[in-house]
Each structure stands twice: as C-alpha cells, then as structure tokens.
Structure 1
C-alpha cells in the first residue's frame, strides 16, 4: 500500500517514540497549566461567585476565546473524522446547523442572560417560574444536566483521549484515564472558573497551532502527495461535497433538511442550547456587561463554524488514503481493544505520522483540548450541584467556604464517574445521537420562555419527561424497530413503517404536543412572578401583552425600558450573520479545494454580508445600550 506493506506500516506506527523535544513541549505545557491553576487558587477560592463566575468582570475577548477552546475538545476531531469518512464532508451539517442557534443567542439572548444576573442558567427557573414546581425543576435540572448529561459529555471527551493514548502512546484505557484525569481534576478543583478561563487563552493558541500543523503535514505526506492529489484520489473524490447529494433522499433529510429545519431549534445540546444555556451561558454571566456577553458569543460562532473545522476535515480526508477502512486501522493497531475500533480512530492514527517537534506540539494541543473541555464541564457541572442543588435542597445556610469545598469535592466525583463510563463506550457519535434524541422537542421551550408569558414550569417538566421516555422507546425497545427502518448487527436493513430519518422529527412532534397540552391544562405562573420577571429582564414583544395589561390594571409599573422592541432587528442580524459565517466557511473550503472562481464569489458574499452586519449591529447597539 503506497510502497509500504501493512507489516512495515504497523512496525513504523507501533514503535513510534517521542523525542526529548516532544517530551519537553508536553511537560512544559503541563507545568504552565498547573502553575496558572495554583496561581489563581487563592482568589478563586474566596467565595462561590469567584469560583464559578470569576467575579463577573471578564472582557469579551477572553470569554470568546474560552468558548472556542472549551468546544475544541478531543472528541470533536474524532467526531468530524467519523462523519467525513462515512458520509463525506456534507455530513457535518448535523452540527453545522447549530450555527442558527448560536447566532440567535448572540443577537437576541446574550443580553437577556446578562441582565438576569443569575449565578447559573439553572437558577433562571426560580426567576421565571414560581412555587414548588420551579424549585423541583431547578434541582432536577441541576442533577439531570449537571450530573447525568454532563457525565455523558465528559465520557465522550475521555473516550477520545483513550483512543489517542492507545494509538499514539500505546497506553491502556485505564492508564490514559488515570494520567489525563488526575492532572485535569487537580487543576480544575484548585483553579475554579478563573483558572479555566486563563488557561483557555493559552490552550486556544496551542490547540489551533497543533490542528493546523497536523493538517498541513498529513496532507503533504508522500503517501498522500499534497492537496491536488488528495482531492482527486479515488477514496476522497466522492467525499468532498459541502452540500449533500440532493438525489439521495435519506442522506438529504438526515444530514441537511432535518438539522436545518428541525434540529437547531428543537434539541438541547451542550454548547448549542436554543435560547442559550450551559457553559456558554456561564461565560455570558461572567461577562462585564451585556455588550461583552454579545461580543464573546459572536466571536465564538465565527471561529467555531467558519474556520476551525477545516484542519480536522483535511486530516480526515487524508486518512482515507492511508487507512481506507476500519480493517486497515485494526491491522496497524492490533493493541486497540475491539470495542474501541471505529472510523473516528483514524484521526489519532494519522497523527502517528508526524515528525519530532510537531508530534509534541500536536500531543500538547490534544492535551490542551482535553483539559480545556473537561475542566469547563467539571466547573459548570459543579456549579449546578453547588448553587442549584446543595445550596437550595441540602443546606440552605451553607457558608461560602463550605460551598467552595463542596464544589471541589463534586469536581473530583464528576471526573471519576465520567472516566468509568468512558471505558464502556465505543465512539463519540453514540453519545452525540443519544444527547440529541434525549433533548428532542425541548428546545422550543427554551426559546419561547423568554417571550411568552403562558409557558410555566410544568411545560418544561413534561417536555423533559416525555422526550426521555419516547427516545428510550424508539432507541432501545421493539417499538422503534417496528416504526422505523433500521440496520441489524449483521448489516441487514429491516424496513419499518417510516424511514429512519423520521425518528427525530417524530420525537419532536410528540414532545411538543405533550408540553403544549400540559401548558394549557395547568395554571399559569402567578402575576407576581411574571411581573417580577418582566421588570428585571424587559423582554418585550407581543407574548407579554397580557402581563403588561395585568400590571397596568393593578397599577404596577413593570415596563422600565421604553425603547422599541429590538428582537426583529436581532433576528435580521442573525440571518445576515448566518450568511456571513456560512459563506466564509464555504469560501475557505473552496479555496482549499482549488475552486478559485467559486471561492472568490463566496468571499465577496462574506465581505458584503459582513459590512451589512456591522451596520445592523450599530443600530442594535444604539437601541439597546
């Protein structure tokens, strides 16, 4: 195969050793990161606000870089590689569609989150809703998201670290978990949110340098032969399309139509929650003001969607030349357990080809990506446990010192449980699909609860419960096999009543019908709760007309912002922003592909839409701040 027998290729990979330079880069990186954690530990441990939000005085640029670094996890290049190798570049639309959610957060929800002044996005529940249902929802979501879903997400990241450690260093899964986990959990526990934010700044540049350097070297390997040869290779040529094949109905709906038409607004996913939330909300809440919150989220969306995916895509495409299938990966790395084999392993396999120095930088970048993501999830999940469960349910009068201690203990426990769970997973795509399905149908509530008075706590409770139940029925029982087309373990396709791509929209439809029915069958929130929420947030819009009328009738002044409702302008800016970022992304891809005419046209669209967006933003800023 390209002048090397499989046996020789295996020997080359298996006996790969790190040089002194490689070890120096990795050890130096660890030393700096731990040093930052120790340096900020004194101030971060002052109180829970410092530990989880760094005093709410962070500028947009460091928060934006932190958002990018946090989502630059070890499982993301593995997921992208899995998608590209199986279904081509266009399969990335399953997560590219979340750009719509991200820009809705930028231009509509970022300022609302910063105005709320809550410590976590889960605390929002007792601001928006009232009574026992709100208290239940707050602690239940704290456990549901902060513990269960958070462990799922961290397990996916740790699984990627296991595969990297196995392929590149010959480590067993348990060894990788111990080495990577211990250092990360020590850093996260002592440094708090400020430690995470400060190290993210360093991690971002290390991770970007590593990803770009790896892509450049892998594409120019003798076996690959440069960009031109890569683009025309028989294993790659049919994988390059950025848009899916419109004649393939299943691929079109699964990879493009459903993500763009349904998934982005209907599903909860970490880092891309409809209406904002999670660790993105945590960073918005830590911003100096609403303007900085908006700037941070916009910078994140540009980097996350327009520019960052391409180095990973290039490595994935190059891997199709050297490792055309899973069997070739298995032959090259027989020490990898069978339950960890998959197309996603190709990313790590390609990195074993890197030379000394660059190999150390890339390994340091992968360590950076792992530590950034895990430390964020640990601090975020711990903030839920402390602020929304322990302080509200276990011990209401807990001192600030005690809250920080509980935060550090929960950080360690979250790491332990996620590491154990990771040992039982096979690939990152499994978790991606589970999380998407379990959140199906809940996203619309997260969008509307800011702008429609009638949504209550029971709306969210019912959506969570029914979404989980229906997802389990469809994924893990005979019901799903009867209803939807599926593939058996033997590779045989079994026809159901509906195509497989209908599964997600059906879950969304059922969940939406249930929560809307529950909403109208249960009592609305009290007028006092709604008055207090509106007075603090000033959301505006036709969805609050009844509340404003009720307040006027009761001689209660709740409208303090007399400026015109700016959400329509925000939505217009969102649409222009989508054009700007997607055209930038497409232009970057076509420049790489060598399609100069199309790349120039798309670059022109990006420049024009960017200029329009600047003018729109000036108007929005003038009407808001």
Structure 2
C-alpha cells in the first residue's frame, strides 16, 4: 500500500488526491440524498417523478455527452488534422435542433416511461411487441455497452498518462471508478443522476476552461497560435488546422460534405430519443421539456468545444519544444496530447481539480447509460413480457439487478475495445437509414413497426457484411471508409424500410386514432386520422415550427463560429457572427 501511495504521489500531490476524494464523496452524498425518492417506484427511479426543471434536465443532457473520451478526441482531431474535423459532430446541430422544435413537446405529451415504450403506443400487432423487446435488448444492452466500453477506454488513457499507473493498477483503478459510478446510480435513480450531472458539468467545464487558459498563457497568448503553427507546419498546413471549414480539395472537404448533407438526417438519433428523451419525459411539463432541450443545444455546441480545441492548438504549437519521446507519442496518438498538457501546465491543486473534472465527465456518462439501459430492461422487457403485475418494490429490485447486469456487460466490452473513434463510427452505421423512419413515425400515419424493423435489420446486415464477411472472404474488395460507407448503407436501409412499409398492413385504425388523440402531432401526414379526432383542426403541425427551427440553427452556428473567430484572431468577423446569433435568438424568443 505504501509503495502504491508513493507511486501515486509522484505524479499528483496529496492535495490533488484530496480534491479528487472530496469530489467523489460529494457525488456519493448526492446519491444518498436522492435515494428515498428513487425507491418510491420506477416512475421516480427512471423519470424523476416527471418533475425536473429545464435547467437541470438540459444540463444533465450536456453532462452526459461530456465523457472522458470527448476532450481527448476533440483535441486529438485538432492536433492530427485540424479544427474542421469536428464537423463529425457539428453537423448534428441540424438534427438535435429538430428535437427542440418538433419533438420535445411530443415526448412529454406521450406520457411514456421510456422512449422505447412509444413503439406500442404508436404501432399495433405482434410486430410492435417484437420491436419493443428487440430494441430494448439491442439499444438497452448492446448499444449502451459499446458506449460504456469507449468511455472506459478513454478513462484508462487518463489514468495511465496523468496518474502514472501500470497496466494492472490501471484496471484496478478503472474498476473502482466504474463501481463507484454504479453505486450512486443504483441508490439515486434518475433524480440523483441529474443532480450529480449538474455538479459534474460545472466541474468538468471549469477544468477545461482553466487548462485552456494556462495553455494559452504558456505559448504567449492567443495571437501566438497561428504564427506558432506556421513555424511548425508551414503556412498551408497551419491554415488547414485553424480553418473552421476544410478547404476545397483537401482530404477533409469531401468528408465534411458527407457529414453536412447526409449524416445528420440519416444516421443519427433524429427525434432525440434515448437518454435525451428520458430527460424530456422527466420534465415538469412541455415548456420545461422544450427549454431543457434548447439549453442543451446551446451548451453542447457553443460552450463545450472551444476549450478543448484551444488546448489542442496550443499543444500543436508546443510540439517542437517537447522531448522527442513525448512528441513522438503525441504524434502517434494525438488524443494523449490533452493529458500531456494537464501534466505539464497544471500546478498542485489545479491538477487535482482537472483530474477530478475527468472523473466527473466519466461518471456523468456512465451513470446515464446505466440508468437508461436498465429502464429498457425493466419497463420494456421485464414488466412488459414477464411480470405485468409486479409491485413497485419488486420492480425497483429488478432495476438494481438490470443496472448491475449492464455494468458487467459494459465492463466486458471495455476489455475488448481499442479505438474510441471506431466505436463512434459503429454507432453511426447502426443508425443509418433508421433516423429517417424515426422522424416519419411521428408525422406520417403509414409508417408501421415493420418500417423500423426493416431499417434496423438492413443497417445491421450491412455492418456485418462490411465488417466481417467482406474482409474475411473478399479481401481484395476495398470497402469505403467512414463516412463514405454511409452513401451505401443509407439507401439500402431506407429503401428496405419503405418497401416493407408498403407491402405490410398499416397500423390498426383505432391505434392510430388513440395515438393522435394523445400526442396530437398534427400535419398533412395525419390528415385522414385527424379528421376522426374532435378539435384536431387546431393542432398547428410541424410546419409552424420551421421558422423557429431555421433561426435557431443559424443562431447556434453563428455563436459557435463567432466564438471561434474571436479566439483565432478575427474579432470583427467574430463579433458580427455573435451579433447575428443574438438577433436570431431574440427573434425566436
């Protein structure tokens, strides 16, 4: 034990460890504080009693995305290829804003406990039951385990490079972090998860801003970024690294076009389902659901990324002055550059705060995916197919078992995962084509359970063929890399879904009327059904939300790029973009 303590204090002082320990105790305390409410029933355990305020649920959404892998990946992209590589997720502005204006109120209005429960609210027949059960296993277990795997993988990098643990010690430390997250998730349910997420977001954001400020100070100010990159890589490469959009003809140009024109609407969670829907379902009312989703978009795109990007740029400026072994390690794995900056720049006390912020980022993602995945297994598998009349006390016990089961499966997946980026790409491939059906099911009565089954089955089949069959049996055929492979998967998946839609029977008329009466989505796609619902002619439909949607997308992009221009030495353009963002936001409000 003394030997381990001596090793730990070589990289972090006792004060740093005390700060980390204080944060962990605070998280556990919040878990115990919310324990009584969570144990009252599964509506409290998985939906916080539907009483969450917009600022809490929106911040919880952002905190969930603030995993330990994200700062490493974003700064690594900047070091390796440049800022423009972030179009991988910047393109999602157009997708997640759909959740604000078209779906946030509908999710709250549906009155379901999980977004997966919508399956049998919207569809009829045995296909609907099969889809609900299959999605519960597929997304509740398999998807969540992949996410847990890549988050654990990122945390191992942080532990090895910032704390200096050996391979064996790293696994013990990861087991402790994972077990700690599991403990307070079990105790507190969604209420405790959101409360700790709020604290974790503040800590994680503060840590990243602090590191960015010290990195800028080390290189001599923001004005030193472009000259430093020019001196290191030449003017052309420096311009590519700092460009917000890749130059025409560059390697990233075609990639960005696929992200912008294809990925966001075809290969994502376009109706803001999953853990985003879980928060909207937990909102006090439709207004809080709307505002929470709006706050998530602003914080997710405009607040989160720039500290990480600045750290990546500063690291690239400092590369020539580093020890050759350190420089080679960063060039081999750019994601380690962020951790190197932590160890190099942060003094005693501040290093503990930033390491604690990584624990916070890690735990805020793990707790969400454990709770959300367990909600599928309990509500959409156990309660639906096994024990329909189980008591609330019994279901809470099953919730604990389900949470532990997902944690164990996630830990196993973690041991076999070696690339964060590849895990991200697998998720995008799985959603290919399915994203369109997720939109259409809300606004067109003809979509049925077979539409989703077809899209999901085709995407899985394409992933299996391109990842397993072709490399093994047809090694001479070159498989398009991500994201260009989406150009093939999306048409196959979407085409399969639409064919099955028209060759299978529609949803029962009474089920469609029941769904419309409860959710009232409006629009031309429901005209025939709406005619059977009194007062439906007053439902505004999706068309009324389009102006607010467009203005909000413009506002977020202008704020995102405006901040970037201010940081990168173009204050005039930066201020102009920020002014446009404010004007568009004011118009929407």
Closer/same/farther in 2, CA of residues 605 and 525 from structure 1, 3 Å limit? same
Confirm whether residue 281 of structure 1 aligns to residue 289 of structure 2: no
**What per-residue deviation string (whole Å, max 9, x for no partner) do you get for residues 104-156 of structure 1?**
11011000000000000000001000111111100100000010001001111
Q: Is the 1:70–1:372 Cα contact (8 Å) retained in structure 2?
A: yes
**1:352 equivalenced with 2:352 (yes/no):** no
Q: Describe the SS at the equivalent of 1:108.
A: helix
User: 2:112, 2:281 within 8 Å by CA — same for their partners in 1?
Assistant: yes
Cα gap change, 1:612 to 1:82, in 2 (>3 Å): same
Residue of structure 1 in register with 2:574 after alignment? 599
Q: 1:242 aligns with which of 241, 244, 263?
A: 244
Q: Specify the SS of the correspondent of 1:159.
A: helix
Alignment of 1:193-204 (within 5 A): 193-204=190-201
Match of 1:609 among 576, 584, 587: 584
Deviations 1:463-514 (A, max 9, x none): 11111111222233437997xxxxx9xxxxx995978753112100111111
Instruction: Report what 2:74 is aligned to.
Output: 80
Q: Distance in 2 between matches of 1:458 and 1:139?
A: 14
2:558 and 2:578 in contact (8 A); partners too: yes
Return the structure number with greater helix share.
2
In the aligned structure 1, how far is the partner of 2:44 from the partner of 2:507? 33
Q: CA deviation at 1:605?
A: 1.4
Match of 2:538 in 1: 563
Q: Would you say 1:523 and 2:525 are equivalent positions?
A: no
1:218 aligns with 2:215: yes
Q: In the alignment, is residue 159 of structure 1 matched against residue 153 of structure 2?
A: yes
- Most deviating of 500-509 and 13-22: 13-22
In 2, distance between residues paired with 1:315 and 1:343? 12
Quick check: 2:522–2:530 contact (8 Å CA) kept in 1? no
CA gap of 1:341–1:54, structure 2 versus 1, over 3 A, is: farther
Counterpart in the other structure of 2:4: none
Q: Which residue of 2 aligns with 1:584?
A: 559
**After the TM superposition, which residues 329-368 of structure 1 pair with which residues of structure 2 at under 5 Å, given as runs?**
329=326, 342-353=333-344, 354-368=346-360
**Residue aligning to 1:266:** 266
* CA positional deviation for 1:426: 2.1
Offset from partner CA, 1:29-62 (integer Å, 9 cap, x none): 1111101101211221111111111110111111
| 2: CA distance, partners of 1:51 / 1:371 | 18
- Alignment match of 1:93 (pick from 80, 87, 94): 87
Give the C-alpha shift of residue 88 in structure 1.
Answer: 0.8
Q: 1:497 to 1:83 in 2, by over 3 A?
A: closer
Name the structure 1 match of 2:307: 311
CA distance in structure 1 between the partners assigned to 2:323 and 2:509 by the alignment: 60
- Per-residue deviation, 1:330: 8.0
Cα distance in 2 between the residues matched to 1:31 and 1:323: 38
- CA deviation after TM superposition for structure 1 residue 237, in Å: 4.8
Which residue in 1 is equivalent to 2:287?
291
SS of the aligned residue for 1:426 comes to coil
| Aligned match of 1:396 | 388
SS at match of 1:94: helix
- Alignment equivalent of 1:457, drawn from 449, 464, 470: 449
Q: Corresponding residue for 2:3?
A: none
Matched, 1:182 2:186: no
Q: 3-state DSSP class of the match of 1:155?
A: helix
TM norm structure 2: 0.92
- How far did 1:71 drift? 1.2
Could you tell me whether the CA contact under 8 Å between 2:530 and 2:537 is conserved in 1? no
Equivalent in the alignment of 1:427:
419
Of 112, 127, 148, the residue aligned with 1:118 is: 112
- Against the structure 1 CA distance between its residues 420 and 226, is the aligned structure 2 distance closer, same or farther, given a 3 Å change threshold? farther
Q: 1:232 aligns with which of 227, 232, 243?
A: 227
1:384-403 residue CA offsets vs partner (Å, 9 max, x unmatched): 01000111122222211111
| Offset, 1:21 | 2.3
Q: Distance in 2 between matches of 1:409 and 1:330?
A: 46
Instruction: Pick from 522, 530, 554 the counterpart of residue 540 of structure 1.
Output: 522
CA contact (8 A) 2:458 2:496 kept: yes
Distance 1:406 1:367, change over 3 A: same
Partner of 1:514: 496
Check the 8 A contact 1:307/1:588 in 2, yes or no.
no
Q: Deviations over 1:311-362 (max 9, x none)?
A: 01111122223457998448669xxxxxx97222222222111111110110
The verdict on how the C-alpha distance between 1:405 and 1:544 changes in structure 2, with shifts beyond 3 A counting, is: same
Q: Report the Cα distance in structure 2 between the residues aligned to 1:37 and 1:149, rounded to whole angstroms.
A: 25
**Does the CA-based 8 Å contact 1:68-1:204 persist in structure 2?**
yes
Query: Post-superposition shift, 1:67?
Result: 1.1
CA–CA distance in structure 2, aligned partners of residues 500 and 263 of structure 1: 11
Question: Any conservation in 1 of the 2:84–2:252 contact (CA below 8 Å)?
Answer: no
Tell me what 1:369 maps to. Answer: 361
Asked if 1 retains the 8 angstrom alpha-carbon contact of 2:530 and 2:536, the reply is no
Q: Is the 8 A contact 2:283 2:289 kept in 1?
A: yes
1:218 Cα deviation after fit:
2.1
CA distance in 1, matches of 2:462, 2:161: 38
Q: CA deviation at 1:24?
A: 2.0
CA distance in 1: counterparts of 2:87 and 2:216, whole angstroms: 23
Check the 8 A contact 2:68/2:362 in 1, yes or no: yes
* 1:564 Cα offset (Å): 4.9
Q: Is residue 2:500 matched to residue 1:504?
A: no
- Structure 1 residue runs of 5 or longer lacking an equivalent are 1-12, 334-339, 483-487, 489-493, 552-557, 615-625
CA distance in 2, matches of 1:331, 1:510: 42
Aligned-CA RMSD value: 2.4
Question: How far, CA to CA, are the matches of 1:331 and 1:85 in structure 2?
Answer: 13
Instruction: Determine if contact 1:74/1:370 at 8 Å carries over to the other structure.
Output: yes
Mapped to 2, the partners of 1:396 and 1:123 lie a distance apart of 14
User: Displacement, 1:97?
Assistant: 0.7
